[in-house]
Every structure is written in C-alpha cells, then in structure tokens.
C-alpha cells in the first residue's frame, strides 16, 4: 500500500506563508520577491525589476533580502505542521516542497512568532550588556556551511572606515537621489506600501546606524568608535561571493535577527558602506574577518520603541495576479 501524497495548501495556509514572506526585511523595503504556488511546491522568485543601481549595483542586497524571505517561508511551512524541503536554483531563487505532517519545534514557533515583531531599530540602545550566552545563541543561529558570524575586534579601525564611507555617501548625488526616491512616497496618498519611511531615518539616529543622507553628521572617528563600543555588532561573512552565498547570508541574517527578537533584543542591519568599491576588502584586512562581509547586524536592548514599516498588498506577491483576494 502506498501512502497518500501530501495534501496541497488551503487558501488560509497560502495566506499565512505570504504574510510571513511579506514581513521579511529587504533592502530599502523594496520587497523584491514573489511566490508561485504549485500544489505542494512553492517557488520563491526574485523580482529583478527592483533595481537600486546606486545602492545595490550588482543585486547582492536583493538576493540577501530573498534569503531573509526564505527563512520566513520555511518557518511558516514548519509552523503549519508540515515537513519542508528547500532546493536552491539559479532562475527561481528556491523551491520549497511542502511534505508530510510533522510537528514544529518550540524554536520554530518562537522564531515564527518573532516575524511580526521584528523591525529595523535604528535608534540608540539602552545601556546594558547582552549576556554572553545570548550573544552566543545569535552567532549559532546564523552560522551554517559557508557562513561565519563574528564580532569585530579593532573598533577604532572600523570607525575610521565607516567614517570614510559616510563622507563619500553624503556627497554622492546620484546615490542620494536614488535614496530620496525610496523615502519620498511612504506617507499619505502617495503611499503604496514599499520604501523606507522618513521617521525610520530620523535625525536622532546615531552615526553608522541607518542610511547616510545628505544631512547625516560626519562622525569624528574617536566618537564613532565610542558609540560602536556601546553597541553589539556582528558581521555575517561568507566563503564566496556567488548568488548562493548571498542567499545563504540573507537567510542567516534573518535567523540571527529573529533569534534576537525572540530574546527581547532589537537591531538593524547595515550594508550601505559594503557597496563602496574596495570597502569589503579593506574590512577583511583591517578587521581580519574570516570571509567576505555581506551584512553588519547591530543589536541591543531597546531604549525607545520603533514603528513597523509598510508592506505592499499581499496580492502583489503572486505573479499570476492577486491570489484569491489576499490583502
Ligand atoms: C539586504 C538588506 C540590506 C539592508 N541595508 C540597510 C542599510 O544599509 N541601512 C539601513 O538602515 N537599513 C538597511 N536594511 C533594512 C531595511 O531598510 C529594512 O529591512 C526595510 O526598510 C524594512 O523595514 P523593517 O526591517 O522595519 O521591516 C537592509 C535590509 C536588508 C535585508
């Protein structure tokens, strides 16, 4: 007797997967992903039409974003009580095959619940050390084959490099014009559900915690090193620099971020300086990093709350058109 094939997804279950994917972090909140549901297979597609030619000329952050969405998708499938098998591809980003019933672990539930609470927290943190065991749990959540997660030594050198990047990005008119486009339409009648809200980038944001704009103060290297020492930083590094590496780094970043959220921590991610020519190579040599840095995660306990950012309507996740009126 052969066992029955795994059941397809109900409309409600597809909605749960779509909501989880939609809440993933993405470069400039561009949400560069779509879902194609085919019975028990779900393709995660990369929206290559989302172009950030100044911030992300090679589409690296777009793939990191898809990697973060993949982590959310896998968690949502497991929390539905189904087995989940992921295959990475070059054309579609990944195919998630939904298998037979299987109880989700307590950890899956904890990370899934964190999906809706996670947000970019670009503010200063409340003073207070993060316990070593919590720090270690974040590192363990991100480390996987080909991905290393490390805290930087030599904050003086990091401050010098980030100070340099701030000066370059502030003066880069093309870069700033592109950033304006991604912050301009997030409020009022123009709002369509993507982009970075103006108040998520307020003037109180400490240097090297958000996105450098024309008016961002240029930090003094010594002051910046002191500020960095008040934060907790992790670098996500990969062995290589291929599409698969970018996807893996994004998936790892989201596991770290959700683990932090589940442990009452908040944080934000920085990739902006990593796109400057030669910057990653300088970081590797100055900080003796164990691989190519793909993202920097800063975290701590919150001193103030941070607002959630908008999302596109759920129907836009489906290339075939709105899926049964999902919003
Ligand atoms: C690959 C990637 C790169 C990002 N780079 C930056 C960055 O350099 N600076 C920043 O402030 N936020 C950065 N972010 C955070 C996004 O702007 C943020 O996830 C998005 O606006 C959605 O907001 P949320 O995280 O609150 O849901 C990045 C996110 C991802 C996934």
pLDDT one-digit tens code per residue, 226-263: 999 999 999 999 999 999 999 999 999 999 999 999 99
The pLDDT score that the predictor gives to residue 109 is 98
Same domain, 151 and 291: yes
Residue 85 Cα, ligand 1 centroid: separation in angstroms?
A: 27
Report the sign of the C-alpha dihedral through residues 277, 283, 248, 231, in that order: negative
Q: Say if residue 240 is in the same domain as residue 100.
A: no
Number of structural domains (the chain) is 2
**Max Cα–Cα distance, the chain, nearest Å:** 73
The structure tokens 């996987």 sit at 144
Q: Which atom of ligand 1 is nearest to the CA of 26?
A: 31
Inform me whether the pLDDT recorded for 99 exceeds 60: yes
Average pLDDT, the chain: 93
Starting at the edge strand that comes first in sequence, how are the strands of the sheet with 82-88 ordered? 33-38, 41-46, 94-101, 82-88
Output the pLDDT for position 190. Answer: 67
> Are 80 and 198 spatial neighbours (Cβ–Cβ below 8 Å)?
no
The alpha carbon of 156 and the centre of ligand 1 are apart by a number of angstroms equal to 25
Atom of ligand 1 at shortest range from CA of 122: 11
Is 298 found in the same domain as 165?
Answer: yes
Alpha-carbon span 264 to 191, nearest angstrom: 30
Does the residue 315 lie in any domain? no
Domain that holds residue 161: 125-302
Question: What band does 105 get if pLDDT is binned at 50, 70 and 90?
Answer: very high
Position 322 pLDDT exceeds 50? no
Helix (H), strand (E) at residue 67: helix 60-79
58 lies in the same domain as 162: no
User: What is the model's pLDDT at position 1?
Assistant: 47
List of residues 6+ apart from 168 with CB closer than 8 A: 276
Q: Which ligand 1 atom is the nearest neighbour of the CA of 68?
A: 31
User: Do 176 and 105 have their domain in common?
Assistant: no
Query: pLDDT digits over 130-152, tens only?
Result: 999 999 999 999 999 999 999 99
Ligand 1, residues at Cβ distance < 6 Å? 25-29, 61, 64-65, 68, 119-120, 122, 196, 210-211, 268-272, 309
Cα of 38 vs centre of ligand 1, distance in Å, is 30
For residue 120, the CA-to-ligand 1 centroid distance in Å is 7
Residues 145, 290: one domain? yes
Q: Which of 248, 267, 268 to mutate to test the pocket of ligand 1 (most atoms within 8 A of CB)?
A: 268
Structure tokens at 5: 């094939």
Please write the tens of the pLDDT for every residue from 110-132.
Answer: 999 999 999 999 998 986 689 99
Residues 247 and 146 in one domain: yes
Q: Which CATH number belongs to the domain containing residue 89 in this structure?
A: 3.40.109.10
């Amino acid at each position: 007797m052969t066992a029955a094939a795994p059941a397809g997804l109900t409309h409600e279950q597809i909605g749960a997967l779509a909501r989880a994917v939609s809440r993933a972090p993405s470069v400039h909140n561009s949400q560069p992903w779509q879902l194609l549901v085919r019975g028990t297979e779900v393709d995660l597609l990369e929206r290559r039409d989302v172009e950030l030619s100044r911030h992300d000329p090679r589409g690296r952050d777009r793939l990191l974003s898809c990697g973060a969405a993949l982590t959310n998708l896998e968690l949502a499938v497991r929390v539905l009580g189904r087995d989940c098998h992921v295959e990475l591809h070059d054309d579609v980003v990944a195919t998630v095959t939904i298998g037979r019933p299987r109880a989700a672990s307590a950890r899956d539930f904890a990370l899934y619940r964190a999906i809706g609470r996670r947000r970019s927290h670009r503010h200063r943190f409340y003073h207070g050390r993060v316990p070593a065991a919590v720090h270690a749990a974040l590192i363990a959540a991100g480390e996987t084959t080909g991905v290393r997660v490390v805290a930087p030594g030599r904050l003086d050198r990091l401050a010098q490099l980030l100070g340099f990047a701030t000066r370059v990005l502030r003066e880069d008119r093309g870069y700033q014009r592109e950033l304006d486009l991604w912050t301009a339409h997030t409020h009022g009648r123009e709002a369509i559900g993507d982009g970075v809200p103006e108040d998520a980038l307020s003037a109180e944001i400490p240097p090297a915690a958000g996105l450098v704009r024309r008016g961002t103060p240029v930090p003094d290297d010594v002051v910046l090193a002191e500020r960095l020492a008040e934060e907790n930083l992790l670098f996500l590094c990969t062995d290589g620099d291929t599409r698969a590496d970018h996807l893996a780094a994004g998936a790892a970043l989201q596991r770290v971020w959700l683990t932090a959220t589940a442990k009452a921590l908040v944080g934000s991610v920085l990739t902006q300086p990593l796109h400057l020519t030669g910057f990653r190579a300088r970081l590797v040599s100055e900080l003796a990093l164990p691989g190519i840095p793909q993202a920097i995660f800063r975290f701590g306990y919150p001193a103030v709350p941070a607002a959630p950012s908008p999302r596109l309507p759920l129907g836009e996740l489906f290339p075939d058109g709105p899926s049964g009126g999902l919003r």
